[in-house]
Amino acid sequence: MADRDVTRRTLVAFVDVNIIPMDSSHVLTGHTVIVQGDRITQLGPKKEVRVPAEAFVISASGKYLMPGIAEMHGHLPEVGAPAGLVESVLFLYLANGVTTVRGMKGSPGQLELRERVNRGEIVGPTLYLAGPGLGDWIRSADEAERRVREEKAAGWDLLKVHPGLTREAYDAMVRTAREVGMRFGGHIPAEVGLLHALEMRQETIEHLDGYLEYLDGYKRSVDQWDLDAIARRTRDAGVWIVPTMSVVEAALGLVPLDTLRGYPELKYLPMAQLKEWTDLYEERIYPTLPGKPVREQAIANRRRLVKALNDNGVRILFGTDSPQLFNVPGFSIRREIGLMAGAGMTPYEILRSATKTVGEYFTGKDKFGTIAVGNRADLILLEKNPLKDVANIANPLGVMVGGGWLSQKDIREKLTAISRQLSSKASK
C-alpha cells in the first residue's frame, strides 16, 4: 500500500472521545488523546489536556477509541504473488482495525517486507514473523538444532512447529531455542503429544491442537472435570492458546460450501484464491471428514474447551488463521469474535485477547495493546461501545497505525478500488 493511502500527521488529537483503555473493562468518558508520530504522548479529561494549535484534530464526541486488534495467527502472500496482492492484504487487515499481525508461515521476502513496514515505506500492520518452521522434513535432532540457529541468525521472530516433527527433533528444537533465545509455537506433532508439549512449555498452541486427541473429544462429550483439569495444567505450564475457531469449524465441514463461497468480503481477494480454497474443500477436506455426529461432537467439545481454558486463567490470544479457507484478512475477525462469544467469553475477554494480552505476549518487543502514554498509537475509532456488543468493532470510523490516520472514507475508497481492480482482472 502506497503512502498516499494513509494521512500522516506529526500531531493528532482525538478530542472528547470515550476511551476503552483495555487495562480493565472500564470506559473513560470525555477524554482527549494526543498522538505524536507513532506514540501516545498525553491523555486525560478534555478540560485538562491542551490541544496543540498545530495538531490535526479528530472530533470524536460520543465515539469510542480502543487499541488496535492483533491477528496472532495470520499469513502473508509468498514471493511470486500477483502484483499488488501483498499491499492489498496488508490493507485488508488495517481496514478492519488489525494493526498487528503475527505471521505464522515464513517465506522468502517476508523479512524485507517487515523492515519496509517498520521504515514506513509500506503502510501496514506491525509484523512479527515466524520462520519457515520445523516439521516432518526435519530428520534428526542435529538438523533441528541447525535449523533453529539458522532461523535465529536470519532474524525471524519465532519458530513455527509443524505436524510430523519427531519427539527427538522437537526436544532438540526446544533445547536450542532456549539456548539462543528463540520463541516457538504452533502445532502439536502426534509423536510429541499434548502433555509433553505442556511439559516442555511450548509457548503457544495453535488451533487447540492436541487437546481433543488427548481428551478423546471426537468420540464423546468430555466431562467438565477433564476440561478444567487440562485447562489448569495448561495455565500452570504458562502456555498461551490461539483457538482459531472459525477456520477449524469451516475445515470440519459444518459451514456449507455455498455459505463459505457467499461471504461478501471474498471480492477483495483474487478469484484464483477462491478457486484454490474451493478445490481444497471439495477434493481434499470434505471427502475425508468423519460423519456429521462426530464433527458436531468435536465442535461442541472445542467450544466448551475454549470456555474452560478462559475460565481457568489460560491466556487466550486472538487469531483466525487468515487468509485460509475462506477467512479473508481482517474481515475474519468478525466471525471469530462471534464464535468466541458463543463459547461463553464476554466482550471484554474477547477484546482483551486481541489487545492487552497480545501486548503482554510481546513484552520486551514494544509497548502496545492498551491506551496509555508511551504506548504505540495503534488505535481504532468506533461509533458504538464494543464492550456492550462486541460486534460493534466492525466498520471502524478510522484506524491509526504507524503515525498514519485512515479515515472511514479512506478505507471505503481503497476497498472499492481493490474490488474493482480484481473484478476487472477476472473479466479479462
- For 68-100, the pLDDT digits (tens) are 999 999 999 876 677 688 999 999 999 999 999
Cβ pair 344, 350 in contact under 8 A: no
More confident residue, 308 or 123: 308
Residue by residue, DSSP assigns 330-381 as TTHHHHHHHHHHHTT--HHHHHHHHTHHHHHHTTTT---SS--TTSB--EEE
More confident residue, 113 or 427: 113
State the pLDDT at residue 332.
96
Q: What b-and-e string marks burial along 381-403, b requiring 16 or more CB atoms within 10 Å of the CB?
A: bbeebbbeebebbeebbbbbbbb
- The identity of residue 243, as a single letter, is P
pLDDT tops 50 at residue 1: no
- 197, 201, 202, 205 alpha-carbon torsion, rounded to 10°: 80
Q: Largest alpha-carbon pair distance within the chain?
A: 66
Hunting for cell 477476472 — which residue is that?
A: 426
Q: Where are the beta strands (DSSP E) in 87-152?
A: 98-103, 126-129
- Residue 120: pLDDT band with limits 50, 70, 90: confident
Do the bridges between strand 398-401 and strand 28-36 make them parallel or antiparallel, or are there none, so unpaired?
unpaired
pTM of the model: 0.94
- For 128-180, the pLDDT digits (tens) are 999 999 999 999 999 999 999 999 999 999 999 999 999 999 999 999 999 99
- Residue 361: pLDDT band with limits 50, 70, 90: very high
Kindly report which listed range (267-276, 284-293, 362-371) carries the lowest average pLDDT score. Answer: 284-293
Domains along the chain?
3-66+371-427 (2.30.40.10), 69-361 (3.20.20.140)
pLDDT tops 80 at residue 411: yes
Residues whose CB is less than 8 angstroms from the CB of residue 109 and which lie 6 or more positions away in sequence, other chains included? 78, 79
